[in-house]
Chain A
Amino acid sequence: MEFNYEVEGGNFTKAGNAASSVKKVLKQLNVDPKIIKRIVVALYEGEVNVVAHAYKGNVLVDIDTNRIYIKIEDEGPGIPDIDLAMQVGYSTASAMVREMGFGAGMGLPNMKRNADTIDITSKVGEGTIVELTTRLTS
């Protein structure tokens, strides 16, 4: 099964729509609630990253019986130093974003913690691709 979701840069009201929809699908498929929770956390953080940092993005979700693959692709500033971005507490979020309670430098670390594998590729000035894969069977 494949699903696509658009994410608008700067539009926080829609952040979480993809995560919410994927959660419903996984529940219908009777996936272990613990696994669903991890996937939802990782995807939500990915959506927020696009909203907070990029101009626009797309989330592709591919579900088969064994695993879920999520690709979050954006057109945005890119990440110059991925290792630095992965550090807890490091953030480049704006003051407005921080005031909302985002931008604490926990997004990417949360994503890493809640996916079996995470791959990040980024080009400065072009955008970022984050790929998450998680097994659906424990």
Chain B
Amino acid sequence: MTVSDIIEKLQLKVIGGEEGLQNEVKGGYTSDLLSDVMGNVDEGQVWITLQTHRNVMAVASLKEVAAVIIVKDLEADENTISQSNDEGLPLLSSSMEAFELSGELYKLLNQ
């Protein structure tokens, strides 16, 4: 499944990093603690978070996640969006809460 597929199935909005929409999604990780993500997220996973600042993209890029999804329609900072575009790493948003979105993504990936 690609990032594009999950955007369509979970009705996500693309905020930045369109270049990476064909990234393969291998799983997901939900956390708002950056060190926790740094220590535990795996390459190719989708990272679900409520954090909106630029360091999210720094962590996402270093760990080579497939995409970042910001929950609850929270607005990403301007420099978060520009870094997502620079790196071609998709930054997405959802109106769902982290619990709900994680559940939906889990179902989708384990069909």
Is A67 located at the chain interface by the 8 A CB criterion?
A: no
Q: Cβ of A100 and Cβ of B34 under 8 Å apart? A: yes
The minimal Cβ–Cβ distance linking B63 to chain A, given in whole angstroms, is 8
Residues of A within 8 A of B34 (CB): 48, 100-102
CB contact under 8 A between A41 and B33, given known A20-B61, A20-B62: no
Q: Cβ of A12 and Cβ of B54 under 8 Å apart? A: yes
Q: Cβ of B62 and Cβ of A106 under 8 Å apart? A: no
* Interface SS of chain A: helix
Contact of B55 among A15, A37, A106, A113 (CB under 8 A): A15
Residue of B33, B53, B61 ringed by the most chain A CB atoms within 10 A: B33
* Interface SS of chain B: helix
Is A44 located at the chain interface by the 8 A CB criterion?
A: yes
The number of residue pairs between A and B whose CB atoms lie closer than 8 Å in the complex comes to 61
Q: Cβ of A100 and Cβ of B39 under 8 Å apart? A: no
CB contact under 8 A between A16 and B55, given known A40-B62, A44-B62: yes
Contact of A100 among B38, B53, B61 (CB under 8 A): B53
Interface size class, chain A? 20 to 34
The minimal Cβ–Cβ distance linking B24 to chain A, given in whole angstroms, is 16
Q: Which residues of A contact B (CB under 8 A)?
A: 12-13, 15-16, 19-20, 23, 37, 40-41, 44-45, 48, 100-102, 104, 106-107, 110, 113-114
